[in-house]
Structure 1
Amino acid sequence: MLHPRYIRYIKQALLFAVIWLLFGFVYSMIEQGILGNLDYYPSTKNRYDFNSSLIYSSFGSFLIGFIHGWVEVSWLNKKFGKNPLWVKIVLKTLFYLLFIILFLSILSLAINSNRFDASLLSPEVIQSFWLFIGNFSFWSVVVFIGFGLTVAMLFAELASYLGDNIFLNFLFGKYHTPRKEIRIFMFLDMKSSTTIAEKIGHAKYFELLKDCYADMSNAILETSGEIYQYVGDEIVVSWPEKTGLYKNNCIECFSLITKTFEKRKNHYTQKYGDVPLFKAGFHVGLVTTGEIGVVKKEIIYTGDILNTTARIQGECNTYKTVVLISEQLVSKLDCNESFWFKKVAKLQLRGKMELIQLYTLD
């Protein structure tokens, strides 16, 4: 199977590809509407055929959109990740403007080579290419695709603010009607956060949180986790049951996060004077998932599992451990040489008679 990080890249790149495909299709339809029954372009006298134009535009747009998306999510986002949104858009637009001109030049040569049934470097193909480059029609295409490019980048930025899965769920209305599902939750909280904030100051503490959440990202992506909420120094990560249980993804996520901070301890010690430690609570159960809100919409989860998981995480200090897991989840996990579970205590939930057996990682 592909690494979850690359699966995410492919999904994001496909979003770009679909947007470009739509713009390519719309352009072909507008072009046909303007040219009507003409079998040539009036400005360049090049031959025109609607079917071949539609195929080239659609296929070329999809392909270049996917390449654009892959470059964007795997490279450029990292380069401009710390810049304000407007700076990112301007710098990326300048970069892609050159890219677009190069792409259109190659596409024009390929189309003319096919229409003239000649090689790419034949005189008639080159002459037709220069006529196209020097004509307003070429620059109108640049502007049209540039607009599509900006829309694709704005959609990508919007998806990054909401979260990829949440954006797609909104787009396709997956939770427009509330539905029930079994999910695994991890409530991850920084130990001694109040003491750290008082020690280093609230401005620097905020920088610490940004660094922590950034360093957690790879672990969450590698284990197919979905970030549900940031609540101050607490982060809530969720998995559909099948995904979270696959290769113990949910527990592996906490393990990878712990290893990440161990590797980065010099960075945190030098910059903040201390290495942050996190405690986690895990639980699995039934939630109702759906869209809510009018002025501001969100996809939220409701159910006892959320309060229970928060309560489990809150007991970490009581039992002097960094991770507590409910028996319901332990019974579904694969106990192997990587993870051993040890009984800790039974938790009494407020207003309920049942006790929840808690485990920790041994």
Structure 2
Amino acid sequence: MSLTPKSKRRLQRILPFGIIWCLIGFFVLFIQEAATSHQNLNPNVVITLTPKVLAFAIISVTLIGLLVGAVEILWLGKLFNNKSFYKKIFYKLSTYSFFLIITIIIVYPIAASIELGVPPSNEKVLNKLSNFLISIDFLSTMISIAVSLFVSLFYSEISYNVGDAVLMNFFTGKYHKPIQEKRIFLFCDMKSSTTIAEHLGHIEYFKMLKAYYADFTNAIINHSGAVYQYVGDEIIISWKYEEGIKNNNWINCFLTMKQDLHKKADWYKDNFGLEPTFKSGFHLGEVTTGEIGTLKKEIIFTGDVLNTTARIQGLCNSHNVDILISEELIKELKPKHGFKVKSMGITELKGKEEKMELFTIARSN
């Protein structure tokens, strides 16, 4: 059973929490053992690090990290979504700290029982737990947990702001040297945006634009798309070739975006007095992908395909359609049943010598 794109994305965002907690936990244990020359100087409080205890500790820390990640991605992150960066970190640290104290009270007796070879409810284990809770070692443990929390939450916030794929590519250095790859691009532009901005005013227009982009989120995630850029009222979405053509993700993304936006038509009319709509252009081709910038690094695409896609989208109004697709991409539509494909004729694109046949598409009833 294969995971949905949305589930894959959630899993990709949760896994770094487990990795971060595992690495920091291992580092803290290593430092403690090095500082004490592998001798337990306070056996009434500190658990001796036997191979079994070490294995249990690493597994427990990793699982706790994954649990924190799941809570963060699936619930708590959304709860504080509208707070400032520092307020988010403060509120989350406070919330998780309470949860982790409870976790320590549960995990510590199990580790002590492994060390002592007795059940967790044994009096020796309970005495050791009570000694631990009033010791400096408990404070040290809480500090190391706070560091793990801060690092993992900081990573989560940075990845949320720059994008998971972009951050991972920076870490792995995938695009440190430019590479060529085949990609599908969607240029999606709001209709009559200038008139709407003049009518609403800058603040209300920005609020509408924020909601408008947010309503595209599920469609993009569920169809394996990635936001390349927001340019004013225009959003550029990209797919690696294989991901884009799989299950016709590229066209299904557009149709779902259109459907999701239409579902909220009444909400937009109630809040802004209008229903936003958009026009789109699709094309595919080779791009060069790589890191660029000194003061601010970005991963960018360069290639004729981007200019061509922009030109295609710009012709939507003259053809009186919401979507135009290049001939190269329409050939990748498989299977074609379930869609109505209509040729708009061979068109000359601005600044291009070669003419191109364009198509529009709709879902069959």
> TM above 0.5, one fold?
yes
Q: Percent identity?
A: 39
The farther-off stretch of 137-146 and 45-54 is 45-54
Contact 2:5 2:222 in 1 (8 A): yes
Indicate the SS of the match to 1:187: strand
Kindly indicate whether the alpha-carbon contact (under 8 Å) linking 2:215 and 2:260 is maintained by their aligned counterparts in 1.
yes
Aligned-partner Cα distance in 2 for 1:20–1:283: 42
Distance 2:195 2:108 in 1: 64
In structure 1, give the amino acid aligned to 2:251. I
Taking the aligned partners of 2:303 and 2:36, their CA distance within structure 1 comes to 59
Of the structure 1 ranges 270-279 and 345-354, higher mean CA displacement relative to structure 2 is found in: 345-354
| In structure 1, distance between residues paired with 2:16 and 2:38 | 34
Deviation of 1:84 (Å): 1.1
Aligned to 2:119: 119
Contact 2:183–2:238 (8 Å) recurs in 1: yes
3-state secondary structure, aligned to 1:24: helix
Q: Secondary structure at the match of 2:177?
A: coil
Contact 2:17-2:69 within 8 A present in 1 as well: yes
2:73 partner amino acid: V
State how many pairs are aligned: 361
Gaps of 5+ in 2: none
Which residue identity lines up with residue 61 of structure 2 in the other structure? S
Give structure 1 stretches of 5+ with no counterpart: none
C-alpha separation in 1, matches of 2:56 and 2:133: 18
Equivalents in 2 of 1:288, 1:47: separation in Å?
54
Deviation per CA, 1:206-259: give whole Å up to 9, x if none. 000100111111110000101000000000000000100011101111111111
2-structure distance, mates of 1:280, 1:262: 16
The structure-2 alpha-carbon separation of the partners of 1:103 and 1:355, relative to structure 1 and needing over 3 Å to count, comes to same
- Hey, what's the Cα distance between the residues in 2 that align with 1:229 and 1:45? 54
Q: Is the 8 A contact 2:22 2:58 kept in 1?
A: yes
CA contact (8 A) 2:45 2:129 kept: no
Q: In structure 2, how many angstroms separate the alpha carbons of the residues matched to 1:50 and 1:125?
A: 16
Paired letter, 1:177 = K
The residue type equivalent to 2:277 in the other structure is L
Q: 1:124 Cα shift? A: 1.2
- Specify the alignment match of 2:34 in structure 1: 33
Q: Tell me by how many angstroms 1:313 deviates.
A: 0.5
Matches within 5 A, 1:217-296: 217-296=217-296
Task: Give 2:195's aligned residue.
Answer: 195
Distance 2:163 2:213 in 1: 14
- In 2: Cα distance, 1:146 partner to 1:326 partner: 53
Query: Which sits farther off after the overlay, 340-349 or 20-29?
Result: 340-349
Q: CA deviation at 1:49?
A: 2.5
Moved more, 217-226 or 98-107: 98-107
State the Cα RMSD in Å.
Answer: 1.3
Output the amino acid matched with 1:2. Answer: L
Moved over 4 A (4+): none
Q: 1:18 maps to which residue?
A: 19
Structure 1 position 101 matched with structure 2 position 101 = yes
- 2:319 counterpart SS class: coil
| Cα deviation 1:29-86 (Å, max 9, x = unaligned) | 0111122141x34163555134334323321121111111111111112111111111
Q: Deviations over 1:268-295 (max 9, x none)?
A: 0100001100111000000000000111
Which region of structure 1 is more displaced relative to structure 2, 29-38 or 271-280? 29-38
The equivalent of 1:322 in structure 2 is 322
8 A Cα contact 2:248 2:333, kept in partner: yes
Q: Paired residue for 1:341?
A: 341
Give the conservation status (yes or no) of the 8 Å contact 2:187–2:309: yes
Match of 1:3?
Answer: 4
The corresponding residue for 1:89 is 89
Cα separation, 1, equivalents of 2:323 and 2:143: 54
Q: Is the 8 A contact 1:282 1:312 kept in 2?
A: yes
Partner of 2:52: 52
Q: Distance in 2 between matches of 1:116 and 1:324?
A: 71
Contact 2:52 2:114 in 1 (8 A): no
Other structure's SS at 2:320 match: coil
Give SS of 1:81's match: coil
User: Does the Cα contact within 8 Å between 1:16 and 1:69 map onto a contact in 2?
Assistant: yes
Counterpart residue type for residue 11 of structure 2: I
Code of the aligned partner of 2:345: A
Question: Secondary structure of 1:317's match?
Answer: helix
> Structure 2 counterpart of 1:104, which letter?
I
CA contact (8 A) 1:169 1:175 kept: yes
Counterpart amino acid of residue 158 in structure 1: I
Cα deviation 1:91-126 (Å, max 9, x = unaligned)? 111110012211222121110111222222221111
The TM-score normalised by the length of structure 2 is 0.96
Residue 212 of structure 2 is matched in structure 1 by: 212
| Distance 1:262-1:37 versus aligned 2 partners, 3 A rule | closer
Contact residue 43 and residue 135 of structure 1 kept, 8 A: no
